[in-house]
């Protein structure tokens, strides 16, 4: 990517550059001027997170904060937040302009809690708030005027290749055949029947070979039209670029307010609004039980940290472009001034992940079965994806409806919740629907075909 600062990597505990100078940054409001296209600004290897309320783009890498033992190491999580909080910033943004701190760290974290993880502080951070207000934070002592910052970001976005309609030729190769996947579901149902666990989420992967590498800016624009209610994301990871449109909020913290919206329970969504399937989802014993397990787990995890927790008695229908899920909005107020410090967004992620929406119940038994039945580690799929600031505020979604893009290949993963009432073929069909939710954005107009 153009205009990148030198990458500096450090383990938790260090707040200085290799030359001993302290890292510093400056946040400025951006005056009105030529439009900055956030998708082109992020390009094929930058950072982007966008939802209905805010668009964030990271250009280049100013600093990488590592968590060598992942979310499973509470000391490492503490140090990561301390490192971020220690970064200095000359904040010139008028008070009340944004609820976010000036310096943000982004991460697409692995599904495996103990796998090494990293948070990236961009060299340049661009933000467009829901009311249209724009601001930027820059590392390494840049002293451009706000007008110069805008023009430089406009130039970076303009240097991105023009958008295209997407690949026209694809080859889809499942990493496990239909019979093998259905057999894994049957094995899980058997384990549930023997009382070894109550629920497990099994994932299946496919590799899509394209006739050309996808233009991620164009892909994300298409995805935004398909899933306007989702959170778009694009972040670099060791295997390529992790890109998706997640419908599921893992956790969001703003001050003392905490919010989550788990999804579990799925059916088709047909263009015909009279289709009975979505309303029948609310009456499905299998799907409502699957959803209840997720809500109960989040309730159990958050309750000790909150003075109050609001959880509706029944879920709502969450409509996506080709699927409908059961969803529940969970909101609470975090305790402040207790013997335990108020948890940051990253601490809450470590507390919750993986929820039964992507793991299972009990967690340990489900993760053991996942390791035995799936065809390899999940990587970033179903891991936490999001950002936090030095105050501890932040927002993380679940990395589903996503793919890892590397050159001409995109790897897609889809998971299904298996409970006592699950049927192998039905679960395979559900996985295909979830693949199609991603494939429709990757290769619009191309039929989804797993025959190779």
Residues with a catalytic annotation lie at: 199, 248
Read off the tokens for 366.
């489900």
102, HSE (Cβ side, Cα atoms, 13 Å): 20
Torsion of CA 62, 344, 136, 7, to 10 degrees: 10
Cα–Cα distance for residue pair 433/442, rounded to 1 Å = 14
Q: What is the DSSP string of 132-184?
A: S-EEEEEETT----HHHHHHHHHHHHHTSPPP----S-EEEEESS-HHHHHHH
* Cβ-count burial 386-415 (b if 16+ within 10 Å, e if not): bbbbbbbbbbbbbbbbbbbbeeebbbbbbb
- In angstroms, the CA 4 to CA 121 distance is 12
One-character DSSP codes across 363-394: HHHHHHHHHHHSSS--TTTTSEEEEEETTS-E
CB contact set of 123 (below 8 Å; sequence gap of 6+): 3, 4, 5, 58, 59, 60, 61, 62, 138, 139, 140
Residue 315 near residue 328 (C-beta atoms within 8 A)? yes
* Widest Cα–Cα separation across the chain: 67
Beta strands at 104-108 and 384-389: parallel, antiparallel or unpaired: antiparallel
Q: Are 120 and 54 in contact (CB under 8 A)?
A: no
Measured at the CA of 306, the angle between CA 305 and CA 311, to 5 degrees, comes to 120
Token digits of residue 313:
């008695």
State how far the alpha carbon of 62 is from the alpha carbons of 5, 6, 78, 157, 266, in Å. Answer: 6, 7, 21, 19, 40
Count the Cβ atoms, other than its own, within 10 Å of residue 228.
13
The contacts of residue 44 (CB under 8 Å, 6+ apart) are 1, 160, 213, 215, 216, 217, 241
Judged by DSSP in three states, 334 sits in strand
Joined tokens for residue 332: 């609470």
């Amino acid at each position: 990517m153009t205009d990148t600062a030198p990458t500096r990597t450090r383990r938790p505990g260090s707040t200085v550059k290799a030359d001993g100078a302290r890292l510093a940054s400056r946040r400025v409001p951006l005056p009105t001027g030529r439009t900055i296209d956030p998708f082109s600004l992020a390009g094929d290897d930058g950072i982007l997170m966008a939802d209905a309320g805010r668009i964030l783009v990271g250009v280049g890498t100013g600093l990488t904060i590592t968590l060598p033992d992942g979310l499973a190491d509470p000391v490492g999580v503490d140090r990561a937040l301390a490192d971020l909080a220690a970064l200095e910033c000359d904040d010139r943004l008028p008070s009340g302009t944004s609820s976010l701190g000036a310096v943000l760290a982004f991460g697409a974290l692995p599904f495996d809690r103990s796998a090494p993880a990293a948070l990236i502080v961009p060299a340049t951070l661009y933000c467009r708030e829901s009311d249209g207000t724009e601001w930027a934070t820059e590392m390494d002592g840049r002293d451009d005027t706000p007008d110069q910052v805008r023009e430089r970001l406009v130039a970076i976005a303009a240097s991105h290749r023009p958008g295209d309609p997407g690949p026209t030729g694809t080859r889809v190769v499942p990493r496990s055949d239909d019979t093998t996947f259905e057999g894994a579901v049957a094995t899980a149902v058997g384990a549930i029947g023997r009382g070894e666990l109550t629920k497990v989420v099994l994932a299946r992967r496919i590799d899509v070979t394209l006739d050309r590498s996808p233009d991620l800016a164009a892909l994300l624009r298409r995805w935004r039209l398909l899933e306007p209610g989702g959170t778009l994301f694009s972040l670099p990871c060791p295997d390529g670029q992790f890109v998706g449109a997640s419908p599921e909020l893992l956790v969001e913290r703003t001050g003392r307010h905490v919010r989550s919206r788990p999804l579990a329970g799925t059916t088709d969504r047909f263009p015909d609004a009279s289709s009975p399937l979505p309303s029948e989802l609310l009456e499905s014993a299998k799907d409502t039980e699957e959803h209840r397990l997720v809500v109960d787990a989040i309730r159990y995890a958050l309750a000790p940290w909150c003075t109050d927790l609001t959880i509706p008695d029944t879920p709502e229908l969450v409509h996506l472009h080709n699927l409908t899920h059961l969803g529940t909005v969970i909101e609470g107020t975090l305790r402040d001034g207790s013997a335990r410090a108020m948890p940051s967004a990253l601490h809450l992620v470590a507390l919750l992940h993986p929820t039964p929406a992507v793991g299972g119940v009990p967690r340990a038994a489900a993760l053991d079965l996942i390791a035995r039945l799936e065809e390899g580690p999940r990587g970033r799929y179903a891991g936490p994806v999001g950002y936090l600031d030095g105050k501890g505020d932040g927002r993380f979604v679940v990395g589903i409806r996503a793919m890892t893009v590397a050159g001409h290949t995109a790897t897609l993963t889809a998971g299904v919740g298996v409970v006592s009432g699950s049927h192998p073929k039905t679960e395979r069909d559900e996985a295909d629907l979830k693949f199609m939710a991603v494939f429709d954005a990757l290769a619009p107009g191309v039929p989804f075909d797993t025959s190779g």
